[in-house]
Each structure stands twice: as C-alpha cells, then as structure tokens.
C-alpha cells in the first residue's frame, strides 16, 4: 500500500509554539502533498514537494522530504488557534495518468490560545 | 476562487435504497475523483475519472457503485443499494491536469444509512 502514516496522531500545543508532524510512506513517489482538514469539512491543499526537492517553504509552513527514509515532515511555525485542524500527507498511487492520492491517518493538531 | 461544489451536504437514507451524490467540479479541470471518510478514519480513494471513463477504482468501489458525468458539468456517484457500512462523508475532488497534481476538494456529503 502507498498510504502514508502520520505521527503523532494528536498534538496539542500553545499558541505561538511550533508544530511538527511527520509522515512515512512505503513506495517510491514523485511527489508528496500535505492537506489540511477542518472538522467536518473538505481537505485543502497546503503544499506539494517533489521527489527531487529536500525542503520547501510556504508562509509559516516548512516541508521536508527524505526519499531515502521515505519520510516527510510538516512544520508550522508560530502556530495560531486557527491552525487547529487535522493534517494529512498524501502520496500518488495511481497506475494511470490520474493522480490518485492515498492519504495517511492524519495528525489532529490543537492549538490552545 | 473557483471551488468544487457538492450536494446535498447531508443525506439520510434507508438501507437498500439508491442514493446519488452530486458534484460540480471546477470548470476547466479534467480529472475527477471520489473519496470517502468514515468518521474518525482516514480518507479513502474510491475512483478516478478522466475523459468520460473510469481511470482507476479501489476495492471499495464494487458493483454497487457507479460514476457518471452526464452533462459535462455534474459528476455523480451512485450507490445502488446502500448498506449500513456505506455511512461516511463522501468527498468529490477535481484536478486541472495530470501535471498539476494538486486536488481541489468539495465540502463533502455526509451520508447516513439507517
């Protein structure tokens, strides 16, 4: 299975602290994506990192990718209460040109004001 | 910003009944997907659709499921005879091209089978 596994399953931090979430996957990939899901809502794409990239930034987000260890991390700096959500990594697993994404189990982040 | 629209937001049905979940993908997107998420569990891939046919489907997507893009705008998921275990949040997603891998998700339809 291509599915990623996030770690930790749940994370609770104070506003202003940094939050780090990890993802491990099983097979070779050409990209890895992180999505956010507010409770009961759809997933929102945050950032995509390609297999030839080691690190990528977007605002307060920093993503790293280690293809030798088949792992990725998502760092949210200076967290805010509004960052409270579930965060998922996703890897493409399609055998055709379609980009079927397989999602991990997610990390539920709670940022305490 | 363009968005994927799903209707209804909630659907309650009796076991054995047929349901149709509707989605309007972003207009210039070419790839379409259905995913589901059982409460508290991971988001699971069901099916991908491109050029008016199914590209891939998962083991979950058995003969009870079908998808259609009847009019070039709507993208529907039909469950022919619902089971209790079909209760889940169903998400539609669309993708612009195969080289732009970002998926845009709708807000989902919460299906409850009684």
Q: What would the pLDDT profile of A30-46 be if each residue is shown by its tens digit?
A: 899 999 999 878 899 99
| Nearest Cα to Cα of residue B55 among B24, B98, B16 | B98
β-strand pairing of B104-105 with B88-95: antiparallel
CA A73 – CA A6 distance, rounded (Å): 9
Contact (CB, 8 A) for A23 and A8: no
DSSP state of B39: T
Average pLDDT over chain A reads: 90
pLDDT category at A11 given cuts 50, 70, 90 is very high
Check residues A3 and B53 and name the one with the higher pLDDT.
Answer: B53
Would you state the pLDDT for residue A29? 87
Window 80-109 of A, Cβ < 8 Å to B: 88, 92-106
pLDDT value of residue B92: 97
> In chain A, what percentage of residues exceed pLDDT 70?
92
List, for residues A77-100, the tens digit of each pLDDT value. Answer: 999 999 999 999 999 876 654 568
Q: B17-73, pLDDT tens digit by residue?
A: 999 999 999 998 999 999 999 988 889 999 999 989 999 999 999 999 999 998 878
- Alpha-carbon distance B18 to nearest alpha carbon in chain A (angstroms): 24
Average pLDDT over every residue of A11-16: 96
Q: What is the mean pLDDT of residues A69-84?
A: 96
Task: Report the share of chain B in percent with pLDDT over 70.
Answer: 99
In this predicted structure, what is the pLDDT of residue A96? 56
Q: How far is B32 from chain A (nearest CA, A)?
A: 9
Closest residue of A to B4, CA-based?
Answer: A42
Contact A94 B108 (CB under 8 A): no
């Amino acid at each position: 299975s291509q599915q990623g596994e996030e770690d930790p399953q749940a994370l609770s931090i104070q506003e202003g602290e940094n939050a780090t979430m990890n993802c491990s996957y099983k097979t070779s990939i050409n990209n890895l994506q992180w999505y956010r899901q507010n409770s009961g809502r759809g997933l929102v794409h945050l950032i995509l990192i390609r297999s030839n990239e080691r690190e990528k930034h977007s605002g307060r987000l920093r993503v790293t990718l280690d293809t030798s260890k088949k792992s990725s991390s998502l760092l949210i700096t200076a967290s805010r209460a509004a960052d409270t959500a579930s965060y998922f990594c996703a890897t493409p697993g399609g055998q055709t040109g379609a980009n079927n994404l397989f999602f991990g189990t997610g990390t539920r982040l709670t940022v305490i004001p | 910003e363009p968005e994927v629209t799903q209707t209804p937001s909630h659907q309650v049905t009796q076991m054995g009944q047929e349901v149709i979940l509707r989605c309007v993908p972003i207009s210039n997107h070419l790839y379409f997907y259905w995913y589901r998420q059982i409460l508290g569990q991971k988001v699971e891939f069901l099916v991908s659709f491109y050029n008016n046919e199914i590209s891939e489907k998962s083991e979950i997507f058995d003969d009870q499921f079908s998808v259609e893009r009847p009019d070039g705008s709507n993208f529907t998921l039909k469950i022919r005879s619902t089971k209790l275990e079909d209760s889940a949040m169903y998400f539609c997603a669309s993708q612009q091209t195969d080289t732009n891998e970002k998926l845009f998700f709708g807000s989902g339809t919460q299906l409850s089978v009684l």
